[in-house]
Amino acid sequence: MPEQDYFQRGFGLKAAIQGTLARDYHSALVDRIREAGSTVRAGDLTILLAREFGFCYGVDRAVEYAYETVEKFPDRRVYLTGEIIHNPRVNERLHGMGIGFLSSDGRLGDLPDGLSADDVVILPAFGVPAPALARLKERGCVLVDTTCGSVLNVWKNVERYAREGLTSIIHGKYDHEETRATVSRAQVYEGGRYLIVRDMRQADLVCGYISGAARDGFSRAQFLEEFRKASSPGLDPDAHLDRIGVANQTTMLSSESLEIARRLRAALVARHGEAGIDARFRSFDTICSATQDRQDAVTRLVEEGVDLLVIIGGYNSSNTNHLASLGGRSVPTYHIDSAACILDSESIRHKPYGSAEEILVRGWLPGGPTRVGITAGASTPNVMIGEVIEAVLRCRGAVSPI
């Protein structure tokens, strides 16, 4: 498609939209707390804000480009392929600005008949599968690509694996928009293959099959059924797992991704020996730096000593869920999607890690001296973080002293 119909670097309209962005997403309270050392005290309540939280560069860029797109094309229909990021308020705000959504989950099956070269389509931070991108280009739509650079880095590695004949093993969630886009890049070359492992349990099943240690108890038929939705068509575990390349969804738990890669390499060594392993195994740590920074910041909060953690972010946000998983290993942790979940000092609605449903919990905020750690996933704007801090303070009848 013509270069002028495909945009990846915005439109230079940041000054025109800056005021609107600040009104929609920034928080003066959060700024003040950061300037005060990320700690605020009100009576016997202490709130500790994580050192790294909220919007990452890729999310900030994607949202900014969406606002610029509306400013650039005021007389055209503007669409998103699906959610731009996993945050309900942000997506609702974009919808309120007149941006339409071509799908609810980014799958982009059948495009609307009326979609044409007169329309503008924004590609989300997760990216879109290669076949969907090709269909959009065929329609001649103006495309504004906000795909995160960290995601593009994963694609580059996966495409190289496919080009060299390796099967890509991806640590991720097979139904996540980013992973769906990534596996499509594993098939850009004829014969390209992939297998998605969600967690350590599935990784160990694959390792056992590769090494031969578990084949008696985990048959080929069981393998194919386990990964029926998470593997490329025609994947043969007996033939296609001798040469593999490992990558990951950028928002997974870093320590788990690294351990999965280590175990997969060990499985290949157990089966074939150390000699020639470099030809059989490739691995690149493709967890994005912002994801790692936010995970490290949660660990630091726990080490500093908190009585509980409040994690803010969309319930379908992978990186936010992993923050909740990390915190929940050490202290009571409450993953909420907004300040509205904090009902009062006694009751809170939250989604436990690993659960699909929100639950109501009582007695979440102890009386007496209490240290509350607060952080947020990479798709949560500062304004929502500020609202949660204010809600926690209100539970003790306090306002921010700074």
Which residues are the active-site residues? 178
Angstrom distance (rounded) from CA 127 to CA 249:
12
What is the DSSP-derived secondary structure letter of residue 4?
G
Closest CA to 122 of 145, 102, 99, 139: 145
Angstrom distance (rounded) from CA 311 to CA 333:
7
- DSSP conformation letters of 310-337: EEES-TT-HHHHHHHHHHHTTS-EEEES
246 phi and psi, to 5 degrees? -105, 135
What 74-80 contacts at long range (C-beta under 8 Å, 24+ apart), as own/partner pairs, is 76/118, 76/119, 76/120, 76/142, 77/118, 77/119, 77/120, 78/119, 78/120, 78/121, 78/122, 79/115, 79/119, 79/120, 79/121, 79/122, 80/121, 80/122, 80/124
Tokens of 310: 């409040």
Q: What is the dihedral of CA 258, 264, 270, 276, to 10 degrees?
A: -90
CB burial class (10 A; 0-12, 13-18, 19+) of residue 272?
Answer: middle
Q: What is the dihedral of CA 177, 259, 325, 375, to 10 degrees?
A: -80
Angstrom distance (rounded) from CA 108 to CA 120:
15
